[in-house]
Amino acid sequence: MANQDQIVRNYEVAKERYAEIGVDTEEALKKLQDMKISVHCWQGDDVKGFLNPNGELTGGIMATGNYPGAAQTPEQLRQDLEKAYSLIPGKHKLNLHAIYLDTDEKVDLNEIEPKHFTAWVDWAKEQGLGLDFNPTFFSHPMYKDGFTLASPDKEVRDFWVEHGKRTRKIAEYFGKEIGQTSINNFWIPDGFKDNPVDTLAPRQRLMEALDEIFAEQLNEDFTQEAVESKLFGIGAEAYTVGSHEFYMGYGISRNKLVCLDAGHFHPTEVISNKLSALSLFSKGILLHVSRPVRWDSDHVVIMDDELQAIAREIVRNNLLERTNIGLDFFDATINRIAAWVIGTRNTQKALLRALLEPTAFLKQKELEGDFTTRLAYTEELKDFPFGDVWNYFCVKNNVPVGFDWFKEVQHYEKEILLNRA
Ligand SMILES: C[C@H](O)[C@H](O)[C@@H](O)C(=O)CO
Ligand SMILES: [Mn+2]
């Protein structure tokens, strides 16, 4: 068990060290406290959901592994999420997919209503969480030949248009009830395995279907939509209708948030490098913080270069107000609660590291052409005691420090997860 007095003493030393280079650690911690991370529900059950949990996961995404204890009911998922949130400092959001409805009624995706999500809202209120949402354009028989909203078949398109419209009403209901804007993120998997001849018509159909879904103006205090691009999926290797260029154009011209998923680009292409440019033109950004390993593999987020670069871009360019930070990974080979905790805490840690830079000073030196100072500072900063500031943040938020969170997960696994049928 970490020694709290020692943590406070270490923090005081770290605070002085940062003050010497003009960084106010208290100010950084205040900012970090207000940063909400949208934790994705689908890590808890390998993207199965409760509409048709025994059906196939389609849409070109894949969860591999068979770690015991996956949540099988909404109650179990909430129980697991509560455990995870209790190990993560601060108050955050939960990101729900439409297939995670909680109802005894037999309803399809084109029939869902706010009433099918009241249990989530009641629980979120009780836990002090915000709620984000996503239509589910996959794992359903109307995902036909790899197509939904861009399908040449009008019946297929109509089904999904209705689904999209209904999710907007549900997100609006979340926003009204909870008092925080609910981000409703549209990711559409449609694409071709092999080279298409007509690359334009599917995009035209997708554009028109989205316009139909978004035709009704909703109060943006309650809900805002985001659109998520992708380079390719399994079975859609040659062509994805909703490419990056498609959604850059769509999002900016339709006043929607543009969602950047870290795994949705060419293997050496990074989203950190896109944020400042996009911020000049888009109304706002949604991030899907993920970790692609050779493909869009959705590994748990670790403290790697790209995670730190994303955090630095947000902080240095003052994009916090206009950036919504969501997570998107699903690893079924490890304890799922540990996955949430590791990914979320790492994202927060990366943000803290970025907040502990003397940004104004560094920008000034750069402007003066003093690149030597810039390099010396950014390199020396790597050895500054940010871990002591992080540990103090955990203590202040009453969550375990260091390995202590992991002991709790191990205990929970033994007592709860391994006893699930
Ligand atoms: C389950 C999510 O909607 C999904 O991961 C999506 O956001 C995505 O990134 C698909 O590759
Ligand atoms: Mn994503």
Question: Is residue 240 within 6 Å of ligand 1 at its C-beta?
Answer: no
pLDDT per position as a tens digit, 248-285: 999 999 999 999 999 999 999 999 999 999 999 999 99
CA contacts within 13 A on the Cβ side of 172: 13
**Contacts from 375-380 at CB under 8 Å and sequence distance 24+?**
377/21
Q: Which residues of the chain have pLDDT under 70?
A: none
Q: What class does CATH assign to 30-358?
A: alpha beta
Mutate which of 40, 94, 261 to test ligand 1's pocket (most atoms within 8 Å of Cβ)?
A: 261
Q: Is 5 annotated as a binding residue?
A: no
Q: How far apart are the first and last CA of the chain?
A: 32
Please report the atom of ligand 1 found closest to the CA of residue 290. Answer: 9
264 is in an annotated binding site: yes
Do 412 and 83 meet the contact criterion of CB atoms below 8 Å apart?
yes
Here the tokens at position 41 are: 């529900």
For the chain, give every domain's residue range.
30-358
Name the nearest CA neighbour of 212 among 240, 254, 266: 254
Tokens read off for 3: 């020694």
Residue located nearest, by CA, to atom 2 of ligand 1: 328
* Dihedral-angle region of residue 295 (phi above 0 means left; psi in -120 to 50 means alpha; beta otherwise): beta
Per-residue pLDDT, 252: 98
The residue type of 264 is H
Distance, in Å, from the CA atom of 166 to the CA atom of 195, rounded to the nearest integer, reads: 33
| Residue 296 known to be catalytic | yes
Contacts of 371 (CB under 8 A, 6+ apart): 365
Give CA–CA dist 401/353, Å, rounded.
17
pLDDT of residue 36: 98
Q: What's the confidence (pLDDT) of residue 421? A: 80
CA of 299 to the centre of ligand 2 (A): 12
Place of tokens 């670790």: 302
For the chain, the 3-state helix, strand and coil shares in percent, each to the nearest 5, are: 45, 10, 40
261 ligand 1 Cβ < 6 A: yes
Question: What is the pLDDT, as a whole number, of residue 146?
Answer: 98
From 298, 313, 357, 413, the catalytic residue:
298
Contacts of 114 (CB under 8 A, 6+ apart): 169, 170, 173
Kind of pairing between the strands at 223-228 and 191-192:
unpaired
Q: Is 269 a catalytic residue?
A: no
The reply to whether 97 belongs to the active site is no
**Phi-psi category of 294—alpha, beta or left, where left has phi over 0 and alpha has psi -120 to 50?**
left
Phi, psi of 351 (to 5 degrees): -65, -40
pLDDT of residue 237: 97
ipTM of this predicted complex? 0.99
Q: Which helix (H) or strand (E) holds 260?
A: strand 257-261
Q: Any known ligand binding at 298?
A: yes
Distance, CA of 317 to CA of 357 (rounded, Å):
12
Candidates 215, 203, 275; CA nearest to 242 is 203
Element (H, E) at 213: helix 200-213
Tell me what pLDDT residue 62 has. 96
Q: CB of 133 closer than 6 A to ligand 1?
A: no
Neighbouring-strand partners of residue 258 = 227, 285
* Closest Cα to atom 6 of ligand 1: 187
Query: How many other CB atoms sit within 10 Å of the CB of residue 143?
Result: 23
CA distances, 22 to each of 15, 18, 40, 311 (Å) = 10, 7, 36, 20
pLDDT tens digits, 211-226: 999 999 999 999 999 9
Look up 132 and say whether it is catalytic.
no
- 301 in Cβ contact with 289 (< 8 Å): yes
Residue 233 alpha carbon, nearest atom of ligand 1: 11
CB atoms under 10 Å from CB of 201, counted, come to 13
187 is an active site residue: yes
CA–CA separation, 359 vs 276, rounded Å? 15
Interval between CA 261 and ligand 2 midpoint (Å)? 5
pLDDT of 108:
98
Judge contact between 360 and 29, C-beta under 8 A. no
40's tokens: 């994705």
Tell the burial category of 128 from Cβ atoms under 10 Å away from its Cβ (0-12, 13-18, 19+): exposed
Q: What's the CA gap between 382 and 375, in Å, rounded?
A: 11
Q: Which residue is closest in CA terms to ligand 1's atom 5? A: 328
